[in-house]
């Protein structure tokens, strides 16, 4: 699986958009970008994933650059409950292997 790089921490004001970047310059053609988050003392929660097109669901939007070497997870209106560690993970879609978690980005949403 391709390696990802994320900033260790970010702050965001409540109600504003949170834009979390991820670099994955060695991504392969068959690898998807997955985003998960982990709220303190809970299991990781799936947010969104994509291959090359931008994706949107009820939780977030995923913007993938045209060369696929980086992506941005957007939480359009951050709330205090969005405070969590956010993980960007790259993996082939048909992989039977487990997701490997790096250190992620610790997002703090402030009032």
Shortest separation between residue 32's beta carbon and another protein, angstroms: 6
Nearer of residues 2 and 99 to another protein, judged by Cβ: 99
How are beta strands 105-110 and 9-13 bridged, if at all?
A: parallel
Nearer of residues 40 and 111 to another protein, judged by Cβ: 40
Nearer of residues 45 and 79 to another protein, judged by Cβ: 45
**Inter-CA distances, 28 with 18, 45, 52, 84, 110, Å:** 27, 24, 11, 28, 37
Shortest separation between residue 16's beta carbon and another protein, angstroms: 27
**SS3 per-residue string spanning 38-100:** ECCCCCCEEEEEECCCCEECCCCEEEECCCCCEEEEEECCCCHHHCEEEEEEEEECCCCCCCC
Shortest separation between residue 108's beta carbon and another protein, angstroms: 15
Residues engaged in binding another protein (CB under 8 A): 32, 34, 36, 38, 41-46, 49, 51, 87, 93-94, 96-104
Nearer of residues 41 and 67 to another protein, judged by Cβ: 41
């Amino acid at each position: 699986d391709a390696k990802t790089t994320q900033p260790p921490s970010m702050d965001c004001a409540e109600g504003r958009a949170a834009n979390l970047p991820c670099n994955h310059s060695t991504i392969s053609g068959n690898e998807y970008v997955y985003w998960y988050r982990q709220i303190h003392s809970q299991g990781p929660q799936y947010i969104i994933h994509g291959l090359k097109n931008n994706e949107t669901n009820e939780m977030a939007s995923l913007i993938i650059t045209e060369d696929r070497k980086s992506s941005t997870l957007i939480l359009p209106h951050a709330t205090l409950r969005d405070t969590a560690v956010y993980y960007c993970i790259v993996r082939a879609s048909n992989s039977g292997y487990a997701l490997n978690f790096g250190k992620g980005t610790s997002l703090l949403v402030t009032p």
